Structure formats: C-alpha cells, structure tokens
Amino acid sequence: MSVHYGHLIRILHWCTDQAMTDALDKVDLTAAQGRLMAFLARRGERPTYAKDVEAEFHLSHPTVSGLLSRLEQKDFLELKTDPNDRRSKRIVISEKGMASHERMHAAIMENESRIVRGFSEEEKAQFAQFLQRAIDNVCPENGQSKKEDSKA
C-alpha cells in the first residue's frame, strides 16, 4: 500500500487551519490573518512592509495585499505612508490588533501542542527535521518559492 504524503500533509494543514480559525473566530480573524498578526507582533517596532510578509509566508503580492486590506478594514492594522519612501506603505498594528495578540498566541501554542501530542522529545525533534527536509526537497531555493494560501 502506497502512502500519499502530500495528501496527509494537506489534511494536517486543513485540520490545524480549521482549529486556528475556530479559536480566532471570537476575535474576528481567520487562521491566515492570525498568523500574519502574530508575525507583525513578533516584529515589534521594526518597520514592516508587504514585501516582508511576502518573504516570511512565501505569498504573492496580490495575496498579501488582500490580507492586509481585510485586516485594515477590521481595524487590526493601519497602512501608513513611509516618510522615507512615499511609494511604500508601512504596516502598523492597531490597539485592537495588539489586544488580540494574546488570544492568537494561545491558539497557536494549543495547535502546536496538539500536533505533537503523544510524541517523545526525540520524536518531536525528528518530526521537525523530517518536515524541514521535506520542505527543502520540494521548495526551490531552500523554501523560498511563492505559495498561495487558499484561506487568505
């Protein structure tokens, strides 16, 4: 019997995405929006632009633009003209966005814990190594390919 790894990975992605969306629904965020907000919160005061989001999540510019637009409409962030380059928009987390960070972090940590529930510490390390190796095998330039997030 052959194993279809891509199919299993897709199911795992769907399950974790759904768990995140369910957990973040109370703060009106999807899983993709929650991941983006967590990234912005981790960056702190460092200036962040759409290109930073594209690079971090391997997403296209139109996908990132859509995510940012929806988050701005929901008042989780603001897009402000960069004083050093009027063509660029800096991404700034709003108070509402910062307030939701604790809930997002808790949802992420719960999801991470559920993924490896029942794994020994050695198995967790191996699992991470196997996942990274699979990413390196499939993604050109060491994981730098653009991938679309269907839930953006």
HSE-up of 102 (CA within 13 Å, CB side)?
Answer: 3
In the predicted model, what is the mean pLDDT of the chain?
A: 86
pLDDT of residue 149 exceeding 70: no
- Whether the CB-CB separation of 146 and 56 falls below 8 Å is answered with no
pTM to 2 decimals? 0.69
Segment 47-68, tens digit of pLDDT? 999 999 999 998 999 999 999 9
